[in-house]
Chain A
Amino acid sequence: MSMLIKYSARFLAIVAVTALVLAALAPSVPAHNPYVSALSSVSIGSTYAVPINCPNNSCGGKKGCRADHGFYCTLSGGTCQTSKCL
């Protein structure tokens, strides 16, 4: 009986050490990083990230809106505001 307990303890110890080693070897990259896998949803979205119906313009100082990819310009009350297209 004592042998069984002894071997079980050794077995559990090895399991614990193995788990610790695996944890230490696992990549510690934070959730938000440039290294997303091609399998992730972020990659799927990025692949089709061309803004849909984006007017592609931005404020041209006092001159109104002019062509500019990925931006969205609105003129209201004489002032112009540039925003990002989603």
Chain B
Amino acid sequence: MSPGNRLAIVLLVPALPLLAGCQRPPAVAFTVAPARAEGQPDRLAVTMRIQGAPSKGLELRGFATTGVLKIEDISAAGADGAPIAAATTIENASFNNRTLDIPRIVLHGPLPPTLVVRYTVRTGTREGDSHMGFTGRCHGYFGKEFGFTVGRDLFLLPDPAERLRDLSVTFDLPQGWEARAPWAKAGDAFRPGVGGTLAAEHLVSAAVGFGRFHERSFDLGGTRCRLAFEADIPAEQEERAAKGLEAAARYVHGLFGRDLGPEYLVVVAPKAPTGDEIAGEGWGTGQGGTLAPLTADRLHTFAMSLIEAYVRHAPYRTEVARPEEYWLVDGVKQLYSWRAVAAAGLIPEEEVTRSLAVGYLLSIGVLGVEPDLEKIYSSAGAHRIETEARAPFVLAHLDHELRGGSGGKETLDALLPTVFGRSRAPSFWSIVPQVHPDFRAEFRTRYVQGREIIPLGRAYTLAPTQPQPDPPAGPVTRRLTLLFTGDTQGYLENCGCKVNQSGGVARRSTALAALRKGDPQALLLDVGSAFVRPEKQLELDFLTRQEQALYLGTLDMMRYQAAAVGTTELTFGLDYFREQTRGLSVPFLAANIRNDGKPVAPATLVLRSNGVRVGLIGVFEPPYGKTATALFEENTQSLAFDDPIDTLKRVVPSLRTKADLVVAIGRLTPYTIRTVAASVPGLDAVISSEYRAPAKIDGKEEHIHPEDQPGFVGRMLVAYSSLTNYGLSSVRLGLDAQGRIASAEFGDHWLYEDTPDDPRVRETLNRFYDRVGRLAAAQEAVPPLFADDPARRSGDYVGAAKCAECHAAEMAQWRRTKHASAYKTLLDRHRHFQPKCVVCHVVGFGTPHGYRLGMPEALLANVQCEVCHGPGAAHASSPAKDNIRREVPAKVCLECHTPDHSDHFVYEERLPKVKHDYFEQ
């Protein structure tokens, strides 16, 4: 090298940092400990020692929303203890048309080079809201038993975080506790980062456990997979979870045929003591969250996160190079995560493709879905349906076509190591085998680019049911009517505020009376899931239990003669089922459900109608995967579900000796029903609550319906309770001289608003609302609105009349809106003692100074000024602009105008109608 060049390089080296426009990023050492203050058992105290802070000032940024990363008591000081002002602000980021509020702390310069920032974080935010109910998930937990969090719910970082290289974390935990985190350890400190890079990303995405742990480990090739079980997880749960996690992990590792880093840590937490599942997160070095007891859904989450380590997350991912092939990342993740659950034995293999086929079929009719998968990353929007329903099924279909076209020699699985074996993926289509000429181009154009819909009729659908039995029966000699409901989910009646107001027990009773006039001996059956479903009522509070008991009581009032044990009967556990059905007249049947070897309910029952002895069998096929809730899986782990087909083969012959007609009621999928029809010859009919399956509706390949239709499969009759809580169904059977079903007339009876209430049931409901709604326990079961707004929950309300003293024009305008007559809606529908309804039709229900049941209507009834503008006592006594809320953000309205209660509410359209410059014509 010439001296000139040498001189140039000498000049360049010191200039490079300046050229890059940066100085060395600060180093941050975190110390995390339980908060010491009294009454803060759920708080973690975080100390950040920042070295090399820029003199001009520093901003600390969070990586979770303010609803989750709840920063309290923040303070900053120099190394000498001199305080530094820390201003808390909120950064607004946009995600899928939603605004995310992210905490940002500003430390204005001049700053000393070494800073100490202290703050506490309140863990355990529950997802959902107190009015509509919680989803059953929470973000982090810290208590006396154990703790779990993800990095983003705990840490702030100097902005821009991407440049940070030197981060360390030390934990100061109670005696005997340890921390489990996917970071390398140096002495007492953990050091996030891989190969000297990605420190901030590694910190933020980490799953961290605190407490006592049992560790198990196994090798996935060159990657050591560590499972850290929180020590209080019962041994049998740990054993089951360890088996399932290892099976799924081995399946995933086998698919990609390569290793991740040297170690992959899985922090296995139990549920939080509140009953909530703790949300986890994953990255290339590990993951964690509530994984015990292990359910199919939790194993799916685990498998998906592990697959993401190969296909999405730094630092071990393979990057798909071509933007038009990005959809592969989603497709592979979704398809193979479910296949991993099947490989671990938690769901049947065929259930994966079936479930994806139904999802794909449903996605066809959804507005706004991008048909071309190659465009989902270049067009605006969330594309959840495309990535979660369409992409995996397109891949499943590709697999199907490859196998079919090659006689089983070619598979999608075999392509994965080639595509995802290195850091950069080759072109996918270049390696897809041409199982017939132009296969690749045709498949891509038709199904990936969405020019055509995948021909479900050829491979994924059931043969349609037929209108007549095969072989035909003899001439009809007797008639029999079966009336049935199913999947009614404890639905008493609509709330009175939705556009769709179908259903309700009072209307059902009226419809039944009319149908019984046609056949007084008609049999009335419920085929299962008459209990409330957990998505609606996660917690069995006082009011929910009372409503459930009332609902079951109305079954007796309507003279139900038998019911099957279904999914929701077991979702809250066997004890709850027994508690609720004690003393009921209607018998619940279950032939294949055992607890400690004993049946949980009678298997069969013989009823008589029009001289026909009808033998009923309760049978239950448990839901799997997406159709099963975690609560159901957890609460049924002690139960044994015998194979429904084997059960029917065993029970039907003996029941036949006592009955002229044998009918199975309960939950059987249309797929199982086809097998039953072929293998249980003595069974005359099945009435099932589960009807979902892609089925050809008239035998034509292109006429596919996502639900099976009633009719005959061979000689067996099939009927479904598909009206759920909106109606009831009937089938009028014609029997031949031998008792075989010769004909069937199916009827759907919707319970629209033109169906009057049965006065007797109406009166029962009204008395219930009056009696139970007044009880303190029922009112306490309905929390006040605005859970995150302490001022609204503790404020002093004065009522609209007081506001009108100064705001007469606004009052006049308000009186013309529907808000001013909101309470009358309750009176008209007799819901004025139903706390779940009252809370949205008055001011401050459930708060110390708000509306109370029975209060004079004029004072705080209706949706008054203070619902929008907040408690007004201070403003009324001393009017000022700064002691009343002039602006009304959308979330105030959306607290009550939810899809469940206000199903056609569009905020932007409705807002002008309540503004004070608007007058209804």
User: Which listed residue, B128, B204, B365, B748, touches A38 by the CB 8 Å rule?
Assistant: B204
Contact string, A32-54, partner B, CB cutoff 8 A, digits 1/0? 11110111011111111110111
Closest to A57 in B: B899
In the bound complex, residues from chain B placing their C-beta under 8 Å from that of A63 are 707, 722-724, 726, 748
User: Which listed residue, B96, B128, B326, touches A34 by the CB 8 Å rule?
Assistant: B326
In the bound complex, residues from chain B placing their C-beta under 8 Å from that of A60 are 706-707, 722
Q: How far is the CB of B723 from chain A (nearest CB, A)?
A: 6
Q: How far is the CB of A57 from chain B (nearest CB, A)?
A: 9
In contact, B4 and A44 (Cβ under 8 angstroms): no
Q: How far is the CB of A80 from chain B (nearest CB, A)?
A: 9
In contact, A33 and B724 (Cβ under 8 angstroms): no
Given A70-B384, A83-B366, A47 contacting B705 (CB threshold 8 A): no
A14 within 8 A of B: yes
Number of interface residues of A (CB under 8 A): 55
Residues 42-65 (chain B) with a chain A CB within 8 angstroms: 63-65
Q: With A and B bound together, what is the CA distance between A41 and B91 in angstroms?
A: 10
In contact, A18 and B12 (Cβ under 8 angstroms): yes
Given A41-B102, A53-B894, A11 contacting B127 (CB threshold 8 A): no
In the bound complex, residues from chain B placing their C-beta under 8 Å from that of A59 are 365
Contact string, A1-41, partner B, CB cutoff 8 A, digits 1/0? 00100110011001100100000000001101111011101
Given A64-B724, A72-B899, A7 contacting B102 (CB threshold 8 A): no
Closest to B326 in A: A34
Q: With A and B bound together, what is the CA distance between A76 and B63 in angstroms?
A: 41
In contact, A45 and B4 (Cβ under 8 angstroms): no
Contact string, B1-22, partner A, CB cutoff 8 A, digits 1/0? 0001101110110011001000
In contact, B626 and A69 (Cβ under 8 angstroms): yes
Q: How far is the CB of A64 from chain B (nearest CB, A)?
A: 5
Q: With A and B bound together, what is the CA distance between A75 and B152 in angstroms?
A: 40
Q: With A and B bound together, what is the CA distance between A86 and B99 in angstroms?
A: 12
Q: With A and B bound together, what is the CA distance between A39 and B899 in angstroms?
A: 32
Contact string, A58-86, partner B, CB cutoff 8 A, digits 1/0? 11110111111111101110000111111
In contact, A49 and B96 (Cβ under 8 angstroms): yes
In contact, B204 and A58 (Cβ under 8 angstroms): no
User: Which listed residue, A29, A43, A71, A74, touches B904 by the CB 8 Å rule?
Assistant: A74
Q: With A and B bound together, what is the CA distance between A49 and B367 in angstroms?
A: 20
Q: With A and B bound together, what is the CA distance between A54 and B898 in angstroms?
A: 8
Q: With A and B bound together, what is the CA distance between A15 and B907 in angstroms?
A: 55
Closest to A32 in B: B377
In the bound complex, residues from chain A placing their C-beta under 8 Å from that of B8 are 7, 10-11, 14
Contact string, B698-727, partner A, CB cutoff 8 A, digits 1/0? 000000011100000000000000111010
In the bound complex, residues from chain A placing their C-beta under 8 Å from that of B388 are 70
Closest to B365 in A: A82
Q: With A and B bound together, what is the CA distance between A82 and B903 in angstroms?
A: 12
In contact, A71 and B366 (Cβ under 8 angstroms): yes
Given A61-B705, A81-B367, A50 contacting B135 (CB threshold 8 A): yes
Closest to A81 in B: B367
In contact, A68 and B362 (Cβ under 8 angstroms): yes
In contact, A32 and B378 (Cβ under 8 angstroms): yes
In the bound complex, residues from chain A placing their C-beta under 8 Å from that of B595 are none
Given A30-B323, A33-B377, A83 contacting B723 (CB threshold 8 A): no
User: Which listed residue, B137, B200, B362, touches A39 by the CB 8 Å rule?
Assistant: B200
Closest to B162 in A: A39
Q: With A and B bound together, what is the CA distance between A46 and B205 in angstroms?
A: 12
Closest to B750 in A: A64
In the bound complex, residues from chain B placing their C-beta under 8 Å from that of A32 are 377-378
Q: With A and B bound together, what is the CA distance between A54 and B894 in angstroms?
A: 12
B276 within 8 A of A: no
Stretch binding the partner chain, chosen from B312-320, B431-439, B456-464, B651-659: B312-320
In contact, B365 and A35 (Cβ under 8 angstroms): no
Contact string, B301-317, partner A, CB cutoff 8 A, digits 1/0? 00000000001111001
Q: With A and B bound together, what is the CA distance between A12 and B390 in angstroms?
A: 52
Q: How far is the CB of B489 from chain A (nearest CB, A)?
A: 9
In the bound complex, residues from chain A placing their C-beta under 8 Å from that of B162 are 37, 39
Q: With A and B bound together, what is the CA distance between A30 and B6 in angstroms?
A: 38
Residues 553-603 (chain B) with a chain A CB within 8 angstroms: none
In the bound complex, residues from chain B placing their C-beta under 8 Å from that of A47 are 64, 152, 279, 281
In contact, B500 and A75 (Cβ under 8 angstroms): yes
Q: How far is the CB of A51 from chain B (nearest CB, A)?
A: 9
In the bound complex, residues from chain A placing their C-beta under 8 Å from that of B132 are 53
Closest to A54 in B: B899
Q: With A and B bound together, what is the CA distance between A7 and B3 in angstroms?
A: 10
Q: With A and B bound together, what is the CA distance between A3 and B279 in angstroms?
A: 65
In the bound complex, residues from chain A placing their C-beta under 8 Å from that of B11 are 7, 11
B648 within 8 A of A: no
In contact, A45 and B201 (Cβ under 8 angstroms): no
In the bound complex, residues from chain B placing their C-beta under 8 Å from that of A44 are 63-65, 93, 95, 100, 102, 152
B499 within 8 A of A: yes
Q: How far is the CB of B124 from chain A (nearest CB, A)?
A: 15
Q: How far is the CB of A77 from chain B (nearest CB, A)?
A: 10
In contact, A7 and B723 (Cβ under 8 angstroms): no
Q: With A and B bound together, what is the CA distance between A43 and B282 in angstroms?
A: 12
Given A30-B323, A44-B100, A45-B100, A86 contacting B382 (CB threshold 8 A): yes
In contact, B500 and A84 (Cβ under 8 angstroms): no
Q: With A and B bound together, what is the CA distance between A47 and B899 in angstroms?
A: 22
Q: How far is the CB of A56 from chain B (nearest CB, A)?
A: 6
In contact, B726 and A64 (Cβ under 8 angstroms): yes
In the bound complex, residues from chain A placing their C-beta under 8 Å from that of B9 are 14
B330 within 8 A of A: yes
Q: How far is the CB of B420 from chain A (nearest CB, A)?
A: 13
In contact, A10 and B5 (Cβ under 8 angstroms): yes
Q: With A and B bound together, what is the CA distance between A67 and B313 in angstroms?
A: 32
In the bound complex, residues from chain B placing their C-beta under 8 Å from that of A58 are 362, 366
In contact, B314 and A82 (Cβ under 8 angstroms): no
In the bound complex, residues from chain B placing their C-beta under 8 Å from that of A35 are 312, 314, 317, 319
Q: With A and B bound together, what is the CA distance between A50 and B365 in angstroms?
A: 22
In the bound complex, residues from chain B placing their C-beta under 8 Å from that of A74 are 499-500, 903-904
In contact, B152 and A61 (Cβ under 8 angstroms): no
Closest to B897 in A: A53
In the bound complex, residues from chain A placing their C-beta under 8 Å from that of B161 are 39
In contact, A11 and B312 (Cβ under 8 angstroms): no
Contact string, B183-210, partner A, CB cutoff 8 A, digits 1/0? 0000000000000000011001100000
In the bound complex, residues from chain B placing their C-beta under 8 Å from that of A38 are 63, 152, 201, 204-205, 281, 283, 313
Residues 290-348 (chain B) with a chain A CB within 8 angstroms: 311-314, 317, 319-320, 323, 326, 329-330
Contact string, B359-388, partner A, CB cutoff 8 A, digits 1/0? 000100111110000000110001011001
Residues 93-134 (chain B) with a chain A CB within 8 angstroms: 93-98, 100, 102, 127-129, 132
Q: With A and B bound together, what is the CA distance between A10 and B4 in angstroms?
A: 8
Closest to B380 in A: A32
In contact, A64 and B723 (Cβ under 8 angstroms): yes
Q: With A and B bound together, what is the CA distance between A55 and B905 in angstroms?
A: 13
Q: How far is the CB of A85 from chain B (nearest CB, A)?
A: 8
Q: How far is the CB of B160 from chain A (nearest CB, A)?
A: 9
In contact, B312 and A34 (Cβ under 8 angstroms): yes
User: Which listed residue, B283, B312, B535, B904, touches A56 by the CB 8 Å rule?
Assistant: B535
Given A34-B326, A39-B201, A45 contacting B377 (CB threshold 8 A): no
In the bound complex, residues from chain B placing their C-beta under 8 Å from that of A18 are 12, 16
Q: How far is the CB of B18 from chain A (nearest CB, A)?
A: 11
In contact, A48 and B367 (Cβ under 8 angstroms): no
Contact string, B882-894, partner A, CB cutoff 8 A, digits 1/0? 0000000000001
Q: How far is the CB of B73 from chain A (nearest CB, A)?
A: 23
In contact, B98 and A86 (Cβ under 8 angstroms): yes
Q: Give me 6 A-to-B residue pairs in the complex whose CB atoms sit less than 8 angstroms apart, sorted by A's number.
A: A33-B326, A41-B95, A55-B899, A69-B626, A74-B904, A82-B366
7 nearest A-B pairs in the assembled complex, by CB-CB distance = A45-B95, A41-B93, A38-B205, A34-B329, A10-B8, A53-B898, A11-B8
